[in-house]
Amino acid sequence: MTQKAWPVKLPDYRLDGKTAVVTGGTKGIGYAIAMMFAAFGAAVAVSSRHQEECDAVAEEINRLGGRAAGLAADVGRPRQVKKLIRDTVQILGDLDILVNCAGVAVTKPILQMEEEDYDRVMDTNLRGVFFASKEAASVMVEKGHGGRIIQVASIGALKGTNQISTYCASKAAVLSLTKTMALEWSRYGITTTALCPGYVKTEINAAQFQDPDFLAKTLKTIPQRRLGTADEVAAAALFLASDYSSMITGSAIVADMGATSQ
Ligand SMILES: NC(=O)c1ccc[n+]([C@@H]2O[C@H](COP(=O)([O-])OP(=O)(O)OC[C@H]3O[C@@H](n4cnc5c(N)ncnc54)[C@H](OP(=O)(O)O)[C@@H]3O)[C@@H](O)[C@H]2O)c1
């Protein structure tokens, strides 16, 4: 029997031959994304502020038969970010995908928020995203092959949330940047998207979720009555990195178990 061709073009879900940088790639959601991308064939630069932790994740990927390098950088420092992007190209050969996943939150009411709390959140969550995206896009433009820039934002970008004002403001600003980047960079074949996860239990919120009352109250606001997992967020990031998402740019993709549906 002869095989009939499907009447649709099947793009590639795999990332073979692609090189990705994942900031915040040593823990939580970023770790899951680095592992998922490596499992789907990408070479991955794993980054956070701590070189030993970057090396440990890179070694894990290499042991499993993937290809990775651990490259430490503080995303709040543009010079370190530039070095991260340039070193990735030098060590892994190119850059096709950037995932800005490094993020921090300071949990306090606005009336108690200090200048250093504000700066810490904005430097990591906004300045980091701005300069890492700029440096990655420069390489993609130089190389002439386009690419994917994925911001890990949050549902905090879409609504106010008690005690994490600066976090929500930083993530909302990231959604705005995602749109302008789409306007400026579509001509170079670069797509920019903002992935907005709902609650996933990681180090960033472990202290709050240890409180059973907080957990119970949070679950009541989530139609699926559960927290998400880092692997589920990574699966959405994989879709955004793959050829399947080629017409999506400038958009926020919400993966929140229905939390912002009301
Ligand atoms: N967990 C959730 O419920 C949730 C929901 C929506 C969105 N998000 C977003 O998802 C992203 C990952 O969060 P997570 O929950 O996986 O948190 P996490 O487990 O605390 O991981 C944060 C990662 O960012 C790195 N990092 C922090 N500050 C950095 C800096 N200045 N420069 C470079 N790396 C830095 C951390 O490594 P070092 O500290 O070693 O540098 C770590 O690898 C964040 O952007 C967060 O806002 C999380």
Domain boundaries defined on the chain: 19-202+229-255
Upper half-sphere CA count for residue 258 (Cβ side, 13 Å): 9
Q: What angle do CA 184, 188, 194 make, to 5 degrees?
A: 60
Q: Take atom 43 of ligand 1 and give the residue whose Cα is closest.
A: 24
pLDDT band at 105 (very low <50, low <70, confident <90, very high): very high
Give the closest residue to 101 by CA, choosing from 227, 199, 169, 196.
196
Token pair of 231, please?
Answer: 């692997």
Q: Which atom of ligand 1 is nearest to the CA of 76?
A: 31
Q: 258: Cβ–Cβ under 8 A, 6 or more apart, which residues?
A: 222, 223, 224
Is the alpha carbon torsion for 55, 84, 23, 61 positive or negative?
negative
* Alpha-helix runs per DSSP H in the chain: 28-39, 51-63, 78-92, 115-122, 128-143, 165-185, 206-209, 212-220, 230-241
What does each C-alpha distance from 76 to 48, 62, 72, 86, 254 come to in angstroms?
Answer: 11, 28, 12, 17, 25
CB 255 within 8 A of CB 197: yes
Q: Tell me what pLDDT residue 3 has.
A: 78
Residue to substitute in 71, 125, 202 for testing ligand 1 pocket (most ligand atoms within 8 angstroms of CB): 202
Pocket of ligand 1 (CB under 6 A): 23-24, 26-30, 48-50, 53, 74-76, 101-104, 124, 152, 154, 197, 199-200, 202-205
Q: For residue 21, list its beta bridge partners.
A: 45, 98
How many angstroms is it from 114 CA to the middle of ligand 1? 21
pLDDT band at 1 (very low <50, low <70, confident <90, very high): low
Upper half-sphere CA count for residue 228 (Cβ side, 13 Å): 25
How many angstroms is it from 152 CA to the middle of ligand 1? 9
Average pLDDT over residues 116-134: 98
How many angstroms is it from 169 CA to the middle of ligand 1? 16
Alpha-carbon distance 242 to 123, whole Å? 29
Q: Tell me what pLDDT residue 4 has.
A: 83
What does each C-alpha distance from 86 to 109, 131, 136, 137, 157 come to in angstroms?
Answer: 39, 13, 9, 12, 30
List, for residues 204-260, the tens digit of each pLDDT value: 999 999 999 999 999 999 999 999 999 999 999 999 999 999 999 999 999 999 999
CB 45 within 8 A of CB 76: no
Average pLDDT over residues 36-54: 98
How many angstroms is it from 187 CA to the middle of ligand 1? 31
**Residue with the two structure tokens 């890492």:** 132
| Predicted confidence (pLDDT) at residue 66 exceeds the cutoff of 80 | yes
Alpha-carbon distance 92 to 112, whole Å? 44
Count of other CB atoms within 10 angstroms of residue 68:
29
CATH class given for the domain over 19-202+229-255: alpha beta
List, for residues 155-209, the tens digit of each pLDDT value: 999 999 999 999 999 999 999 999 999 999 999 999 999 999 999 999 999 999 9
Alpha-carbon distance 127 to 134, whole Å? 11
Q: CA 9: distance to chain centroid?
A: 28
Catalytic residues: 167
Q: Tell me what pLDDT residue 5 has.
A: 85
Q: Are strands 97-100 and 67-70 parallel, antiparallel or unpaired?
A: unpaired
Alpha-carbon distance 94 to 43, whole Å? 9
